[in-house]
């Protein structure tokens, strides 16, 4: 190969991209050689997805230069990117649920015969490509009926169908079980073997080590390191991801790697605070999502629920919180049946809830910090029918100081705060009041490392104060770091419950995939 031909597949230089006040990219760069698998890593909010959406033409950069195979493509459109062989598999699938697999695959470059859609040919071609790549899909199915794994295969097929020479995957494993992940790695290696270039966006270091050839690390919208996978260690990548305060960062890595074995091994003998028996819950499509789940959480205990997302965790938590109807079974707090109580009554009965999606549920973004700090307890901050502004303000002042919420302005709309500080509002509200049982769903998702440690410390404090905590997290490391007992949820059931001491990624893995079951009583 001559020097002239060896221009990199991708070269992005000094890319800037803002959305209103948010600067997603500020001087980001990326260089990827043809035919390699490149990992683009960074914490949530580091600007990885934005940079890749710029590359794939969804966003135009504010400034900076983009080259693909040596050609200047700065600010191109999606259609041009696709024509040039750049295809992106998004974290949230870009599939139209009401259309069939074949229709989705050909959308944008439809096959026609006499001006009409040629469905037969499309289905035939999809089937052929499916055979050639090992991506098993059925072309005539409606996308709404597919499983998550199938939908992802359709996404990858879609980009390959468009002749992608550069394949970008945004957090592809977030929704997959370990065997599905292995399958994905096989497909990616096969694609690489055909000479295609792959960019993998992820924040999971084990994936980076396993599959990538080279690595770019992003932080706060900037590129901070370029590494060769063979020549680096996870700790070095983590350091680059986190940047400031290496000690703190390393502590976090150790903690999440399960090195923190300080989790208590003995269980307090007292009666359970949260008790769930034979719970049956349906999802939005009226299919059984939680299928006869039973467990209990004792005072001073954290029960962690591990599992691949979409196995019923969301429905379980919503049912416990009173946000979703229960079809069967029983929920009790301190022996009091709360199965049919309203959200408000459950709160009064001692239930606190850190919801998994703070933007949709946990906060009212246009309400002030002070108002958000009483959401759910507004009936306690009244004087007659009126809202008691003085007490709301007083409460805000106290909580903002106690939880170090910044900036210190109770009147600011929650929208104006960073993700970490928004989550602190939720934590402050749910943990800063009288409660016995805490439901903590993805409590540190999308927050920076400093806030993660702070939140973990608060959860441990609450446990030590005798509260019962149910922790649900997609981050297995977080589960391992905090829980006293660990349950695995798969297909709407708890397939095992283990003491912390007996749990590890290796032990839990087969349960998370459904490969092992030991239906817990």
Partner 1 sequence: MIIFGFLAQTLRIVIPYIFAASGGVISERSGLIAIGLEGYMLTGAFCAALASYYSGSPWIGLIGAAAGGIAIALLYAVTAIRFRADQVVVGIAINLLAVGMTRFFLRLTFHSSANSPRVPGFGAEQSGTGVASLASNPLIWMGIAAVALVAWMLYRTPFGLRIRAVGEHPVAATSVGIRVGRIRYLAAALSGMLAGLGGAYLALDQHQFSAEMTAGRGFIALAAVIFGRWDPVRAALACLLFAAADALQIQLQGAQAIPSQFVEMIPYALTIIALAGVVGRATPPAALGKVAE
Partner 2 sequence: MTTPATENPPAPAAIAPPVNPASRLAALEEAILPVVVALLVAAIVGDVLILSFGQNPGTVYRLLFEGTWGNAYGFGQVLYKTTTLTFTGLAVAVGLRAGLFNIGAESQLAAGGFAAALVGLILPPGLPALVTLPVYLVAAAIGGGLVGGVPGVLKARFGAHEVITTIMLNFIVLALLNYLTAAHLKVEASLHTEEIHAGGLPRLSSYIAAFHGSAANVVLFIALLAVVLTWWFLFRTRRGFELRATGLQPAAAEYGGVDVRSVWWRAMVLSGALAGIGGLNFVLGYKHYYEDAFATGAGFLGIAVAIVGRNNPIGVLLAAFVFATISQGGLAVNAVVPKQMVDVLQAVVIIAVAASVPEVRRMLRKGDR
CB of 164 to partner 2, least distance (A): 34
98 or 411: whose CB is closer to partner 1?
98
CB of 372 to partner 1, least distance (A): 23
Burial of 433 (0-12, 13-18, 19+ CB in 10 A): middle
Binder of partner 1 out of 48, 90, 222, 463 (CB under 8 A): 90
62 or 183: whose CB is closer to partner 2?
62
112 or 261: whose CB is closer to partner 1?
112
Q: Which does 98 bind (CB under 5 to 8 A by kind): partner 1, partner 2, none?
A: partner 1
137 or 469: whose CB is closer to partner 1?
137
Q: Which does 56 bind (CB under 5 to 8 A by kind): partner 1, partner 2, none?
A: partner 1
111 or 416: whose CB is closer to partner 2?
416
* Among 242, 250, 322, 240, CA closest to 281: 322
The site map against partner 1 for 3-42 (x = CB under 8 A) is: ----------------------------------------
CB of 168 to partner 1, least distance (A): 11
CB of 99 to partner 1, least distance (A): 7
Share of the chain residues as helix, strand and coil, in percent rounded to the nearest 5: 40, 25, 35
110 or 464: whose CB is closer to partner 1?
110
| Choices 106-114, 175-183, 313-321, 453-461 (CB under 8 A): range interacting with partner 1 | 106-114
Beta bridge partners of 88: 168
Q: Which does 386 bind (CB under 5 to 8 A by kind): partner 1, partner 2, none?
A: partner 2
233 or 344: whose CB is closer to partner 2?
344
95 or 290: whose CB is closer to partner 1?
95
Q: Round to whole Å and give the CA distance between 276 and 435.
A: 18
Phi and psi, residue 125, nearest 5° = -65, -40
- Strands (E) in 360-484, as ranges, are 382-383, 386-387, 437-441, 468-472
Q: Round to whole Å and give the CA distance between 176 and 381.
A: 44
Q: Which does 158 bind (CB under 5 to 8 A by kind): partner 2, partner 1, none?
A: partner 1
CB of 108 to partner 1, least distance (A): 3
Degrees, nearest 5: CA angle 327-333-338: 40
DSSP, res 268 = P
Burial of 1 (0-12, 13-18, 19+ CB in 10 A): exposed
Q: Which does 321 bind (CB under 5 to 8 A by kind): partner 2, partner 1, none?
A: partner 2
CB of 77 to partner 1, least distance (A): 7
Phi and psi, residue 469, nearest 5° = -125, 130
- Do residues 489 and 311 touch, judged by C-beta distance below 8 A? yes
Residue linked to tokens 């705060």: 417
Q: Which residues bind partner 2 (CB under 8 A)?
A: 20-21, 321, 323, 342-344, 347, 353, 355, 360-367, 371, 375-379, 382, 385-387, 407-412
CB of 42 to partner 2, least distance (A): 22
Q: Round to whole Å and give the CA distance between 452 and 253.
A: 11
- Do residues 173 and 94 touch, judged by C-beta distance below 8 A? no
- The radius of gyration of the chain's CA atoms, rounded to the nearest angstrom, is 25
Residue 129: CB partners within 8 Å, gap ≥ 6?
135, 157, 160, 161
The site map against partner 1 for 150-169 (x = CB under 8 A) is: --------x---x-------
DSSP, res 255 = I
Residue 74: CB partners within 8 Å, gap ≥ 6?
61, 64, 65, 66
Contacts made by residues 515-518, CB under 8 angstroms, sequence distance 24+: 515/179, 517/490
Burial of 95 (0-12, 13-18, 19+ CB in 10 A): buried
149 or 355: whose CB is closer to partner 2?
355
Q: Helix, strand, or coil here: 22? A: strand
Within a 13 Å sphere around the CA of 267, how many CA atoms are in the beta-carbon half? 18
| Choices 54-62, 188-196, 364-372, 438-446 (CB under 8 A): range interacting with partner 1 | 54-62
Residue linked to tokens 């002239």: 4
CB of 272 to partner 2, least distance (A): 25
CB of 426 to partner 1, least distance (A): 24
359 or 380: whose CB is closer to partner 1?
359
Binder of partner 1 out of 2, 21, 116, 269 (CB under 8 A): 116
Binder of partner 1 out of 42, 45, 57, 299 (CB under 8 A): 57
Binder of partner 1 out of 60, 72, 108, 415 (CB under 8 A): 108
Binder of partner 1 out of 16, 74, 75, 99 (CB under 8 A): 99
CB of 291 to partner 1, least distance (A): 26
* Residues at the site binding partner 1, with contacts judged by CB under 8 A: 56-58, 77-83, 88, 90, 93-99, 103-104, 107-110, 112, 115-117, 158, 162
């Amino acid at each position: 190969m001559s020097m002239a031909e060896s221009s990199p597949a991708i070269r992005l230089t000094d890319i800037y991209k803002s959305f209103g006040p948010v600067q997603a990219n500020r001087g980001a760069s990326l260089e990827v050689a043809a035919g390699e698998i490149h990992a683009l890593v960074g914490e949530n909010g580091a600007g990885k997805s934005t940079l890749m959406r710029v590359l794939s033409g969804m966003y135009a950069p504010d400034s900076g230069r983009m080259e693909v195979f040596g050609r200047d493509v700065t600010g191109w459109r999606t259609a041009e990117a696709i024509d040039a062989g750049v295809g992106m598999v998004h974290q949230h699938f870009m599939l139209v649920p009401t259309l069939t697999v074949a229709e989705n695959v050909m959308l944008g470059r439809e096959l026609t015969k006499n001006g009409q859609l040629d469905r037969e040919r499309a289905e035939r071609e999809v089937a052929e490509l499916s055979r050639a790549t090992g991506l098993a899909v059925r072309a005539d199915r409606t996308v709404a009926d597919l499983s998550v794994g199938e939908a992802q295969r359709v996404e990858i097929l879609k980009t390959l169908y468009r002749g992608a020479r550069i394949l970008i995957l945004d957090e592809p494993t977030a929704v997959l079980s370990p065997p599905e992940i292995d399958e994905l790695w096989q497909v990616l290696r096969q694609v690489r073997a055909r000479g295609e270039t792959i960019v993998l966006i992820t924040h999971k270091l084990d994936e980076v080590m396993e599959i990538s050839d080279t690595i770019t690390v992003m932080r706060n919208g900037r590129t901070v390191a370029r590494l060769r996978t063979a020549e680096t260690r996870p700790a070095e990548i983590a350091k680059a991801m986190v940047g400031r305060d290496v000690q703190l960062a390393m502590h976090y890595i150790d903690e999440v790697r399960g090195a923190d074995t300080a989790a208590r091994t003995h269980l307090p003998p007292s009666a359970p605070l949260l008790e769930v028996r034979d719970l049956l819950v349906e999802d939005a499509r009226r299919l059984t999502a939680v299928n006869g789940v039973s467990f209990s959480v004792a005072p001073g205990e954290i029960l962690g629920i591990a599992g691949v997302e979409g196995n019923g965790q969301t429905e379980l938590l919503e049912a416990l919180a009173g946000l979703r109807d229960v079809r069967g079974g029983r929920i009790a707090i301190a022996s009091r049946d709360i199965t049919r109580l309203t959200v408000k009554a459950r709160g009064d009965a001692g239930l606190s809830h850190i919801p998994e999606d703070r933007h949709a549920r946990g906060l009212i973004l246009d309400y002030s910090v002070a108002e958000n700090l009483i959401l759910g307890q507004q009936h306690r901050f009244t004087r007659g029918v009126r809202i008691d502004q003085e007490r709301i303000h007083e409460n805000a002042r106290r909580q903002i100081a106690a939880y170090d919420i910044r900036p210190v302005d109770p009147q600011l709309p929650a929208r104006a705060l960073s993700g970490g500080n928004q989550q602190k509002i939720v934590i402050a509200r749910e943990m800063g009041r009288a409660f016995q049982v805490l439901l903590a769903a993805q409590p540190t998702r999308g927050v920076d490392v400093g806030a993660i440690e702070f939140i973990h410390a608060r959860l441990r404090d609450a446990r030590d104060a005798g509260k019962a905590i149910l922790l649900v997290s997609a981050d297995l490391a977080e589960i391992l770091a905090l829980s006293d007992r660990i349950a695995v949820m798969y297909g709407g059931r708890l397939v095992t419950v283990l003491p912390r001491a007996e749990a590890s990624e290796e032990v839990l893995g087969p349960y998370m995939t459904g490969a092992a079951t030991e239906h817990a009583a």
